[in-house]
Structures are given as structure tokens and as C-alpha cells.
């Protein structure tokens, strides 16, 4: 969870590396506005609340703010309030002294201590129970706290960033979130848009993620053609950038054709499942899919007729050997009984 370099931590995967600004914010107006606001607030140590749907990039922006803050050299300490059971969360946050409870065989600093001169990122803050909310509020008032089982009061200076994909105002109304804590953590609110509200950013994100996964998996992949990027742009991506990232990972790992067969039906454009009328009908995509499918079965037939002799098949098909190899790979064709070849 910690970092010495701005914006990165010990996870070396694409999910944790901070992309260049032109990728992170893309070219959409809504992200340009968010970037302007983020730039203004990152220098001052004021609490930031990041809201927005799941997978929209809240953590990414939190890391960006940290990397551009005065505390960039400190650690980015993430506490996932939804993943840590309530009973453990207090000791995770504030730490404990040896003997504070059964099993506390040695003292342990809490995450707030580790985040001293760094950033404390409270992910999914709506998941904190009310008792812990009041303890957190107490800590936020003056940066003072005690480890569980300790009399000593400690003090830290840390940048606080919180995130929530629930509407905290509604949680306040439902009395599951303290309004005083809300005002303290939300001095500035940044709202991440859903990916469908920033579709013009999809091509640059997809290409960035493709090269990031190539590096991560040490594998080469086909660049996305213009049509594929157009197709991606036509999808709705209910899981936002995370869903796009998964799609790209599949493309890199198993190739474009197999990735397409594994695509979730809900992710496909309305035309794909016969629900025309609910969205724009892209005749171009329908035609392209049909041609690709036809091509695939013709190639497979010729390959079989020629006992998978690719040179002969290329001659029959009147295409170059290289083009055939590309098409075989693109369509994910394999001789039955043949084990999966190299992925690139
Ligand atoms: N602008 C971006 N550029 C590149 N990758 C991004 C961008 N935004 C998000 N991602 C990727 O999408 C995934 C989800 O991003 P992130 O974890 O920041 O979203 P989140 O809003 O915190 O999601 P959740 O609400 O589910 O916690 C991550 O794998 C991240 O690497
Ligand atoms: Mg998150």
C-alpha cells in the first residue's frame, strides 16, 4: 500500500500505475473540468471526497492528487473500508499496543500513522459504521489519536482523500452516515463521470491500457484498428474504465476474436441482441461482424481441405501467406486437437 515514487505503489500492474495526464483525463470536456479543479486543490491540504460510479477511476484520481500534493514523497495509504471487517477496521486505522486485546502479541502502528506526511485514502467511506465514524471525526478534528490500548496521544499530519460510490447525502438522510463527518471529509467534492459520459476518451484509454497490459504480461498484441475503437466507443460500459480495462486485458491475452466471444451481452450495442430502437443501429458493425464470421468459416474450410497446409491454403484463398497467418490468429482458429499456440 505504500509508495516512495509519486503515484505508484508496490503493485506493478496496469491497475496501479498512474497513466500520463492526457490519458488519465483524456480529451472530454467533463474530464478537463475535473482536471482543472483537481489541479487547484492538490496543492492545499484540504480533504477531498471523490464520488462516482464503480470503476470510474476514483482511486486513480486519488493517486494523481497525492502525486501532485506537497506530500507526494510520503506514502499513499489506502484503507478499503468495505473490505476490512468493522471489528478489525479500528485497529487497522489507529493501530494497537501489545496486549490491547487477545491476539495482540506485539504493537502495531495504524494506517493513519503510516500516512504521516503522506496521503490517507479512505476507500468506500460509506461502509464505516457509526462508532468508527465518530472516532474518525475525532481524529480529523486535530490529527490526534491513540493506538488501541495506549494512553499516549499521537499526532500526525496527513492528506485525507475519501471515496464513495454511494450518495452520502442519502446515507445521511437514512441516518447511516454522520453529517458532521460528511462536512469534514467533503470540503471539496470531485465527481468522476461514468465512461459513457466521456466516450471520446475511450480510444486513448484503450490504446494506453493495451500497451500497459503488453508490458505487464510481456506479450505483443495487435493494435486496435479504427473500427474496433469505434465499436468500443459505441458500447455503454456499465462497469466503466474497469470493464474496458478487462476487455483490453482479454484482447491482449487471448486475442481479439476470443475476447469478442467472451464479451458480456449487456456490454454489446443494442443492435447485437435484436433490440433495435433502443440505441443507434450501426449497420457498419453488423456488416463487419457478418463478413468476419463468413471469412472465418471459409478460411477454416480451406485449411481443413488442405490438411492445414497454410501455404497451399493461402494460394487457394489468393492471399499472401502472411495475411493468412494474421487472419488465423485474428480469428483464433486452431486445428482441432491442436494445443493453444503462443498467444502473440
Ligand atoms: N483514466 C484512467 N486511465 C487509465 N486507467 C484507468 C483510468 N481510470 C481508471 N482506470 C483503470 O480502471 C480501473 C478502475 O479504476 P479505479 O480503481 O480508480 O476506479 P474506482 O472508481 O476507484 O472503482 P471502484 O468504485 O470500483 O473502487 C483500474 O484498473 C484503473 O487502472
Ligand atoms: Mg476504488
| pLDDT at residue 137 tops 90 | yes
Cell 500526525 -> residue: 156
DSSP code at position 77: E
Closest by CA position to 15, among listed 82, 81, 60, 65: 60
Cell 482479454 -> residue: 250
Q: How does residue 177 score in pLDDT terms, banded at 50, 70 and 90? A: very high
Residue 338 or 68, more confident? 68
Q: How does residue 340 score in pLDDT terms, banded at 50, 70 and 90? A: very low
Distance CA 262, CA 253 (A): 12
Query: Taking a C-beta distance cutoff of 8 angstroms, is the pair 24, 60 a contact?
Result: yes
Distance CA 36, CA 105 (A): 48
What would the grid cell of residue 163 be?
A: 471515496
Q: What angle do CA 59, 65, 67 make, to 5 degrees?
A: 100
pLDDT digits (tens, 9 = 90+) for 302-320: 888 888 899 998 888 888 8
| pLDDT at residue 262 tops 90 | no
CA atoms within 13 A on the CB side of 126: 18
Any ligand 1 atom below 6 A from CB of 193:
no
Which residues partner with 79 through β-bridges? 122
Distance CA 274, CA 43 (A): 51
Q: Which residues of 222-252 are buried (b: 16+ CB within 10 A; e: fewer)?
A: eebeeebbbbbebbbbebbbebbbbbbbbbb
pLDDT digits (tens, 9 = 90+) for 216-240: 989 999 899 898 999 999 999 999 9
- Residue 86: the pLDDT is 80
| pLDDT at residue 279 tops 90 | no
| pLDDT at residue 33 tops 50 | yes
Distance from Cα 261 to the centre of ligand 2, integer Å: 28
For residue 178, give every residue at least 6 positions away whose Cβ sits within 8 Å of its Cβ, in sequence order, or none: 130, 133, 134, 137, 172
Cα Rg for the chain, rounded, in angstroms? 25
DSSP code at position 52: -
Any ligand 1 atom below 6 A from CB of 161:
no
Taken in order of first residue, the domains within the chain and their CATH numbers are: 14-193 (3.40.50.300), 197-269+282-331 (1.10.8.60)
Mutate to test the pocket of ligand 1, among 16, 52, 57, 162 (most ligand atoms within 8 A of CB): 57
Q: CA torsion sign, 13 to 17 to 20 to 26?
A: positive
Distance from Cα 236 to the centre of ligand 1, integer Å: 16
Distance from Cα 282 to the centre of ligand 2, integer Å: 33
- Residue 301: the pLDDT is 83
Amino acid at each position: 500500500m505504500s509508495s516512495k515514487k509519486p503515484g505508484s505503489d508496490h503493485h506493478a500492474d496496469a491497475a496501479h500505475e498512474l497513466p500520463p495526464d492526457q490519458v488519465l483525463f483524456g480529451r472530454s470536456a467533463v474530464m478537463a473540468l475535473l482536471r482543472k479543479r483537481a489541479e487547484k486543490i492538490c496543492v492545499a491540504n484540504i480533504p477531498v471526497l471523490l464520488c462516482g460510479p464503480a470503476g470510474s477511476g476514483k482511486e486513480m484520481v486519488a493517486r494523481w492528487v497525492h502525486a501532485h500534493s506537497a506530500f507526494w514523497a510520503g506514502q499513499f495509504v489506502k484503507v478499503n473500508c468495505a473490505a476490512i471487517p468493522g471489528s478489525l477496521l479500528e485497529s487497522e486505522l489507529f493501530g494497537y499496543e501489545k496486549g490491547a486485546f487477545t491476539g495482540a502479541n506485539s504493537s502495531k502502528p495504524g494506517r493513519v500513522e503510516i500516512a504521516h506526511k503522506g496521503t490517507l485514502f479512505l476507500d468506500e467511506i460509506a461502509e464505516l459504521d457509526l462508532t468508527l465514524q465518530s472516532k474518525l471525526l475525532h481524529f480529523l478534528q486535530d490529527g490526534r489519536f491513540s493506538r488501541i490500548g495506549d494512553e499516549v496521544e499521537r499526532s500526525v499530519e496527513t492528506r485525507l482523500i475519501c471515496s464513495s460510490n454511494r450518495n452520502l447525502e442519502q446515507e445521511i438522510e437514512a441516518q447511516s452516515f454522520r453529517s458532521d463527518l460528511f462536512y469534514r471529509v467533503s470540503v471539496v467534492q470531485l465527481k468522476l463521470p461514468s465512461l459513457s459520459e466521456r466516450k471520446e476518451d475511450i480510444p486513448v484509454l484503450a490504446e494506453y491500457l493495451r500497451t500497459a497490459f503488453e508490458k505487464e504480461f510481456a506479450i505483443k498484441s495487435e493494435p486496435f484498428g479504427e473500427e474496433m475503437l469505434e465499436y468500443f466507443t459505441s458500447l455503454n460500459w456499465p462497469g466503466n474504465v474497469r470493464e474496458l480495462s478487462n476487455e483490453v486485458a482479454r484482447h491482449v491475452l487471448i486475442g481479439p476474436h476470443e475476447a469478442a466471444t467472451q464479451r458480456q451481452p449487456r456490454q454489446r450495442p443494442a443492435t447485437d441482441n435484436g433490440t433495435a430502437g433502443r440505441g443507434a443501429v450501426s449497420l457498419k458493425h453488423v456488416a463487419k461482424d457478418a463478413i468476419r464470421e463468413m471469412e472465418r468459416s471459409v478460411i477454416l474450410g480451406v485449411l481443413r481441405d488442405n490438411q492445414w497446409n497454410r501455404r497451399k491454403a493461402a494460394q487457394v484463398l489468393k492471399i499472401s501467406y502472411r495475411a493468412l497467418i494474421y487472419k488465423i490468429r485474428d480469428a483464433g482458429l486452431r486445428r482441432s486437437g491442436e494445443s493453444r499456440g503462443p498467444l502473440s
